[in-house]
Each structure stands twice: as C-alpha cells, then as structure tokens.
Amino acid sequence: MTCGVIRPSFRRPLFAVALGLVVAGLPIPRSAQAEEAGTEAPAPIALLVFTRPPYYERLEQGGFGGRVAGPVARALEQAGIAFTWREMEPNGHLRTVEADREPVCAVGWFRTDSREHIGLFSDPVYRDRSQVVLTRADNMDVLGHTSLRALFADSSLRLGSKLGYSHGPVIDGLIEDLGPPRSTSSQDDAGLVRMMLGGRFDYIITGADEAEALIDAFGEAGQDLLSVTFEDSPPGNTRHLLCSGSVGAATLARLNAALAADPEADE
C-alpha cells in the first residue's frame, strides 16, 4: 500500500476574495456573488434596438449611443446589470417582448394603453421635443394649415406613416377621430421621406429631433424638406424601455434608480 501525500490547497475561498474587494472599496462581480450564493449569474438582458438617429446610433467601438440608447447603457452599467445589444427591425420588438422567451427589453418605446399588457415599462428615459409635420417645402396645401386638426380633416392630403407606429395618445386620437387619407409602410423614416419626395403622400409626423436629423442626412435633397410645428402640437412623448416579464420587477427597479441618478440624462 502506498501512502499519498496530501498537498495543501492554495485556492482562496470566494468569501475571502469578496472580503478583499469590499475592504479595497471595489464592487464584487455579480458572477462571484452568484457563485458564493450557490446560484448562476442571471442571463444578460437583450436590448432590442435599430439605427434611428438621433435616438439610437451605432458607435464605432461597438454598441449603441444616442439620446435614448446612451442613457440606457449608462444606467445598466451603473446598476451592474449585464446586457447585450440586438439589432432588430422595430416591427419585431413588441412580439419578441410579449413572447418572453428570455430577458429582453425594447428600447425607446412610447407608453400607450394598448401596450401595457405586453410587458413591463421602465420610467422615462428621454422626453422628445414636440412632434412636427415634415413635408416638401413646395407643398403649399400642407403649409397652408395652422393646426393638426385642420390638416387631418383635409381629405385632399395624405399622411404617410410606419406600420404599427404610435405618435402618442394625443395625435393617435386625432388621427382615429378625423381619419385622414393614409399610406402605411414598413419602411424606416428615411424610406418614408424618399417616398414623400417621390409624391407617394404629402406629409409625415415625426419628432423635431428626428426631423432635423433627417433633413441633415438627405444633404442637398434635404433643402426640399420643411418641418412645421402646428399650434395644437402636444408636448413631446416620453420614451421607455419595454421589458419582458422575465426581466423582473426587482431588476427594473434597479434600472429606474440608475436612470434617475444619471447626471447626463436629458430633461
């Protein structure tokens, strides 16, 4: 019979590593916390996003920034919540959140009554400026109106809009009540502008921030566009994260606290 030599183990216990981090004033990694507690680290939240300046803009170093995506990323990092970006066309966002096959949040959606059943809304991330009418600079029939109500009541003018898109409760209500002629498309905003310049319809409704970005993006052709704020344009809508139920109320509360504490957030 041979006698084995018992060698001492030099693996430091996790609680000692965690204690050292606390003494040093450093945060304990969530994976270490989970392992010490005997649980797996939670899956990262998939953030559904698409390129739409100035709200969601792809960064050279990877990921997304912009007036909505930027505060979201900062808040999640501050709260210590793991996340990944997943680029997806907007018409797939709500279906993916509602299916709840994984922790997932759609970035920058308006909060409406018809969406409350889909998932969990965060606190506001960003408030848009007032929405504007974007039209061709030579369309005097559109420019001759001074209110959204009068514009929507003019059956000779056609509104262009994205399929499944909400303009917020006030403008959505006016459109439903007055029923302007309407063309819907799955095109993004730049595609809608191209269609409008081609005479497919007369005007679109968009945020003032986005209208400025679109006019700039079209370069010389942007000189043929004009944005107008009408007298009855409502205040801008707030944009939120819309998260699947598996994200959980506790995680959302941590995110909301970080959003509120963000010194760079736009008012």
* Residue 12 covered by a domain: no
Looking at the 3D structure of the chain, how many domains does it have? Answer: 2
One domain for residues 135 and 216: yes
Question: Is the separation of the CB atoms in 82 and 45 below 8 Å?
Answer: yes
**Per-residue pLDDT, 20:** 42
One domain for residues 253 and 204: no
* Residue 17 covered by a domain: no
**Per-residue pLDDT, 184:** 95
Question: Is the separation of the CB atoms in 115 and 190 below 8 Å?
Answer: no
* Residue 11 covered by a domain: no
Q: What is the pTM of this model?
A: 0.76
One domain for residues 147 and 184: yes
> For residue 246, which of 138, 134, 97, 115 has the smallest C-alpha distance?
97
One domain for residues 185 and 112: no
Question: Two tokens at 9?
Answer: 């183990």
One domain for residues 210 and 243: no
Question: Is the separation of the CB atoms in 239 and 166 below 8 Å?
Answer: no
* Residue 9 covered by a domain: no
One domain for residues 88 and 170: no
Averages of pLDDT over each 10 residues, the chain, 267 residues: 39 40 39 47 92 94 96 97 96 96 97 94 96 97 97 98 90 96 93 96 95 95 96 94 97 97 72
Domain with 176, as residue range(s), is 131-228
Question: Is the separation of the CB atoms in 110 and 205 below 8 Å?
Answer: no
Buried b / exposed e along 114-123 (16+ C-beta atoms within 10 A): ebeebbbbbb
One domain for residues 135 and 102: no
One domain for residues 92 and 181: no
Query: What Cα–Cα distance (Å) separates residue 134 from each residue in 48, 203, 222, 256?
Result: 27, 6, 11, 33
One domain for residues 145 and 219: yes
**Per-residue pLDDT, 265:** 66
**Domain at 204, CATH number:** 3.40.190.10
